[in-house]
Structure 1
């Protein structure tokens, strides 16, 4: 049951302590002023103390007249103010950095927002490294992140909606999009899914993404998480919807298709032919990462005839002392690679790099000499691992590595038939997936030839006058195609 004002000074101070569970960080200052009892309350580490002393306490104590709530709001030079008669909501605002001033007898307390925010400065991105382009990353401060986005998208068309998520621990969430561009259905879908959440708390943007995604059973990510402001703003400029969560350095973007997870903003900063080549290289790498090891297992278990005779001899010699069947041999090595990768990620940076390189070389060489595996399989496993690391999205790269395990098992059980079955199942599974209700395999299904430029290849900017049809943006054209292709020499101006 909520507690409402007014009340006397003693009860007010006692009730505030009770609502904050007798917290020692609650600072209460009560004093008499012109026959008035004035109580100032705040949480010690949540407010800017210098501003509190200079802009609040000094003005109140040096005044010679009786105060009212209206006088407090008009004479204290702090713009972010509010009045609250509910003590539960008042305490909630104090937790977020507000100072509460209550004049005994008044029906409401006055709250001044003086939050003290501790956050790191803008640094280089750790999980999404780039060679070309901006290197700055988001921080845990929502205000700082909003400032960066406003700076990059300097337009009044930018909409930032505020939502509160969490029933026990509340978190501030912002939905970001361009009003004249974003499809209303996408915006409403994102907004409604966040509003409908009934959870105790949301720890991070990645947790929020898992709560609102279309399918929680698939291994494939359906929304992109990024710590790069340029990627976030670039996606917003294409008509997508972004989500920010306070105290999280990661932003969420949707809707997305499968091919968007293999894009990098670096593709835009390169020449179009270079960008297209690297993007296609990533697709080829992912395909090789999925099928290389299963094909090795299938060939050595059932289909020796597909292996060239010269290579078959060396394969037989390398496997002469291996006591395990190919499927078990492949699974053991794949697990070893995953262990090395996980250990390298968890150790400190310098130690982790050394662990990954030295551990891979030493264990691989020792395994071959001990006869636990063949040297050809080590090459194949290493190529598969390297290919999976080319994915710009960490989550997509992890999904690709997970897919290899059931494919290896099916290849060991049924050979190439098992691989074909696994690939068919994978395609059917991807056809069923959606991102914010949009097809996950777009522009392949439904087929949109003109959207290939937005996902599979990168054409010159002069050929990119139309926006993606699958995004169904309000404005279909980026610019005039004729004007973009127009060239004038100096003597013709």
Structure 2
């Protein structure tokens, strides 16, 4: 909700104003900071104008060459209409309130105000020094484009525009944050995206009542449907290819200034197990890898709790020869299976976090050498069994098959309550945990759309988009659960028709 006690704009916030009065206001607003440049120029006839900007936010060379030189060499009397013609900068606008000018200065605009005019001219000459386009670091792929977003919103918008060369592509800019405004961009294809979804996400962005937004991932948490759930309801990606692919399918994207990732919505639970490589591989290989990820996640969540439940309560489900092996392995272990498994899981998470925070080469060494040495030492010390180390290692390895980092972290956290339930109640506890998990996922929504679509509500035509892949000639439909304006990408009969060269 927006603030109810927003004060009305005072008449003094509007123009015209005296140059000296405007300078005093600007200096007071910025507390006499040295980075605010406010220069007053005067013509022979006594007419005065002010050029002001924040020094480190704009490109000084462009300000001098494209703005100051034409402005100072103008022989006509200074006025807003004449300056529009004399200054050859395409990105120009006018502003007639102090509030708008203050916000514009913070995003890299240069203002010219002629004393006595009703508005000030603004020119967007942002200093565009930023990290160059490079390969994605957190989402590694083998096939397909690998260009990652940068912290520059303009660069990211250019990458999207270069990938989606269509007049239907819409990019809506808006400012988020009251105290520290930041620019965000809403991206969608107007002929495909569902207008209800577009209006919903636009309204959620406009209704945000925050001081600032540091990153796209923070923004994603602010307008999610359920803030208490550990499952991400919007897909955050640093791959421009993944972003543009989803936008072309009818979803809505959000880009944020100073953030190297874009947000996609609505998303489903199954969206987080898709990889861009699935599109570029043969359909049978892509389907196998996607199914492999689902199996790995089920294995990751349940294999350790099943071991705990079987060893603690349900010996009868273990084959006799395996039961003897497990008994020998656990003969010297002083802890119950639950405590033993929690120690190992905590150790795995500790190594993972340490490896992620340390420099790359050192982190890889800590992850591999530390895991081997510590694991062997724990077994020799009799603090755990060798069988459980194998199970926990396979469980951790399976969780890393998730292409999305946030969903992978959620899966790893779920293992801990599952292990506690298995240690306290056995298989019944695991069933309680699984039922609670399914009910929670059924209740979740992403931008008002079902999170478990197309499994719930069931839609047969969308299964080949979520669980597996069909050959490209059968991929003519978009994801119908999101109700796109154009449900078909192409005519399947025409796509399947084969022509000879001489035709």
CA distance in 2, matches of 1:209, 1:227: 14
1:6–1:108 CA contact under 8 A, matched in 2: yes
Q: CA deviation at 1:418?
A: 0.8
Aligned partners of 1:407 and 1:105: how far apart in 2? 71
**1:46 aligned onto 2:57:** yes
Unpaired runs of 5+ residues, structure 2, are 1-9
Query: Is the 8 Å Cα contact of residues 245 and 251 (structure 1) preserved in structure 2?
Result: yes
**Cα-to-partner distance string for 1:273-312 (whole Å, 9 max, x where unaligned):** 0000000000000000001100110011011111121111
Residue 358 of structure 2 corresponds to residue 347 of structure 1: yes
Shift of 1:243: 1.1
The 5-angstrom pairing of residues 97-176 of structure 1 reads: 97-176=108-187
Q: Paired residue for 1:298? A: 309
Distance (Å, rounded) in 2 between the aligned partners of 1:483 and 1:85 = 56
1:111-164 deviation digits (Å, cap 9, x = unpaired): 222211221111000111001111110111111111111111101111112222
Change (3 A) 1:74 1:349: same
Shift of 1:204: 1.1
**Offset of 1:81 from its aligned partner?**
2.1
* Counterpart in the other structure of 2:384: 373
Aligned counterparts of 1:218 and 1:20: Cα–Cα separation in 2: 41
Task: State the alpha-carbon separation in 2 of the partners of residues 475 and 107 from structure 1.
Answer: 46
**What's the CA shift string for 1:327-360, capped at 9, x where partnerless?**
0000111011001101111111111111111111
8 Å CA contact 1:224–1:261 kept in 2: the answer is yes
Does 2:375 align with 1:364? Answer: yes
Q: 2:58–2:127: 8 Å Cα contact kept in structure 1? A: yes
Q: Is 2:212 the partner of 1:201? A: yes
Query: After superposition, what is the alpha-carbon deviation per residue over 1:51-76, rounded to whole angstroms, capped at 9, x for unaligned?
Result: 22222222333344432222222111
Cα offsets for 1:28-50 (capped at 9, x unmatched):
22233212233221211111211
Deviation per CA, 1:235-254: give whole Å up to 9, x if none.
11111111111221111111
What secondary structure, in the 3-state scheme, does the structure 2 residue paired with 1:333 have? helix
Match of 2:348 in 1: 337
Residue in structure 2 matching 1:23, options 26, 29, 33: 33
Q: Residues 49 and 318 from structure 1, CA distance in 2 versus in 1: closer, same or farther, beyond 3 angstroms? A: same
Going from structure 1 to structure 2, the CA distance change for 1:333 and 1:138 (only over 3 Å counts) comes to same
Equivalent in the alignment of 2:486:
475
CA displacement, residues 163-193 of structure 1 (integer Å, 9 cap, x when unaligned): 2221211122211111111111211221121
1:225 to 233, 236, 241: 236
CA distance in structure 2 between the aligned counterparts of 1:360 and 1:44, rounded to whole angstroms: 51
Q: 418, 428, 431: which is aligned to 2:429?
A: 418
**Distance in 1 of aligned mates of 2:169 and 2:473:** 25
Whole-Å Cα distance in 2 between the matches of residues 109 and 443 of structure 1? 53
Name the residue aligned to 1:466: 477
1:285 aligns with 2:285: no
8 A contact 1:19–1:88 mirrored in 2: no
Show the counterpart of 1:3: 13
Deviation at 1:454, TM superposition (A): 0.5
Deviations 1:379-428 (A, max 9, x none): 00000000000000111111111110011001011111111111111111
How far did residue 104 of structure 1 move? 2.9
SS of the residue 1:470 aligns to: helix
Is the Cα–Cα contact under 8 Å of residues 232 and 406 in structure 2 kept in the other structure?
yes
2:136 is paired with a residue whose SS is coil
* Kept after mapping to 1: 8 A contact 2:216/2:262: yes
- Report the equivalent of 2:7: none
Alignment correspondent of 1:316: 327
Aligned to 2:81: 70
Task: Note if contact 2:74-2:86 (Cα within 8 Å) is conserved in structure 1.
Answer: no
1:398 equivalent in alignment to 2:428: no
2:31 corresponds to 1:14: no
CA distance, structure 1, for counterparts of residue 17 and residue 410 of structure 2: 59
State the distance in 1 between where 2:125 and 2:71 align: 16
Matches within 5 A, 1:85-96: 85-96=96-107
CA distance in 2, matches of 1:437, 1:243: 17
Structure 1: distance between partners of 2:484 and 2:195: 9
**Residue from 33, 39, 42 that aligns with 1:32:** 42
| Inter-partner Cα distance in structure 2 for 1:62 and 1:486 | 65
| Contact 1:20/1:91 (8 A) holds in 2 | no
Structure 2: how far apart are the matches of 1:65 and 1:151? Answer: 41
Query: 1:431 is matched with which residue?
Result: 442
Cα contact 1:16–1:87 (8 A) shared by 2: no
Q: Tell me, in whole angstroms, the C-alpha distance in 1 between the residues paired with 2:49 and 2:202.
A: 42
**What residue ranges of structure 1 are gaps of 5+ in the alignment?**
none
Name the CA distance, whole Å, in 2 between partners of 1:73 and 1:87: 20
Write the distance in 2 (CA, Å) between the matches of 1:426 and 1:449: 23
For residues 108 and 442 of structure 2, what CA distance do their matches in structure 1 show?
48
2: distance between equivalents of 1:108 and 1:485?
60
